[in-house]
Amino acid sequence: MVAPWRCFLPRLMKPTPRSTMPADALPAPVLPWLLNMSYEWGCTTAVTPDPSGRGMRLLRTLDWPFHGLGRSLIAANMTGPAGDWLNITWPGFAGVLTANCQGRFAVAFNQTPMKARRFLRVTLPMPLDWLLNRREMSRRRALPPAHLLRQVCDEASGYVEAKRRIAETPLAATCFVTLAGTEPGEGCVIERHETDATIHEAPSAIANHWLTPDLTGHARTANSEPRLEQITKVMADAADLDWAHHPIINSHTAWPPR
């Protein structure tokens, strides 16, 4: 499972500016490795016209049951060929889960359900599917989703290019990506498989289950559907953080000072 990630890290990893890493924000030394090698989180994300009428906005939470994620979160100033951007991340994390590329787009990554296999018409237990999925992923040479988003933030000139690259680039694993541009109507949720994609235009929201009805899998969290239902209700009109309530905010949310 680790070997494919190691071959991508030297190519994609750039030093995180020290000025963005206050000493009391640094996580334990093992945390960056857990973040880079794991793929087990829940999130709630939406893209919708801003209530002010001045463009689009992206709403986002990340749920991951590691103590200290909220305190260790930083906004890292990054620079790539397409310009400067902010990576909402942790020191040592090589990819992108949430980013704001000012004047171009904002983007967020959500986890999909785990692929479920059947043998003799019986669905395999989740732990066995987890091992088989990791074995399958380790044999692929496509980019992990978080590393694709790092490339897109570095290189994409705007919303249209970012959307195309996210939808078309082969991936090592499935993911949900929410993208918001700078112009009215520039927003979508992209359901990504390894080699194809389904695009849901804004306004749209995603949690951790497929929006496409015939796609299923092992659920990552027990509250994905309630989170999606709640953010869909409030995303259009809620001001500031008025949308950030239970169940969108819950015991696993990486919310300072946790």
Q: What pLDDT, on a 0 to 100 scale, did the predictor assign at position 8? A: 42
pLDDT confidence of residue 256: 61
Pairing type for strands 83-89 and 98-101 reads: antiparallel
DSSP 176-213: EEEEEESSTT-EEEEEE-SS-EEEEESSEEE-SS-SST
Instruction: Say what the pLDDT of residue 31 is.
Output: 60
pTM for the whole thing? Answer: 0.83
184/177 Cα distance (integer angstroms): 19
Domains and CATH numbers, the chain: 2-12+40-234 (3.60.60.10)
| Residues found in the chain | 258
Is-cis flag, bond preceding 203, omega within 30?
yes
Please tell me the predicted confidence (pLDDT) of residue 59.
97
CB 35 within 8 A of CB 102: no
Q: How far apart, in whole angstroms, are the C-alpha atoms of residue 235 and residue 254?
A: 20
**Local confidence pLDDT in tens for the 258 residues of the chain:** 334 434 444 444 444 444 344 444 444 555 666 676 665 567 999 999 998 888 999 999 988 776 777 778 899 999 999 999 999 998 888 899 999 999 999 999 998 987 766 676 777 776 666 676 667 767 777 898 999 999 999 999 999 999 999 999 999 889 999 999 999 999 999 999 999 999 999 999 999 999 998 887 877 788 999 999 999 999 998 888 899 999 999 988 877 655
Residue 258: its pLDDT value, please?
56
pLDDT at 130: 66
* Displacement of CA 124 from its chain's centroid (Å): 27
Cα separation, 190 vs 188, whole angstroms: 6
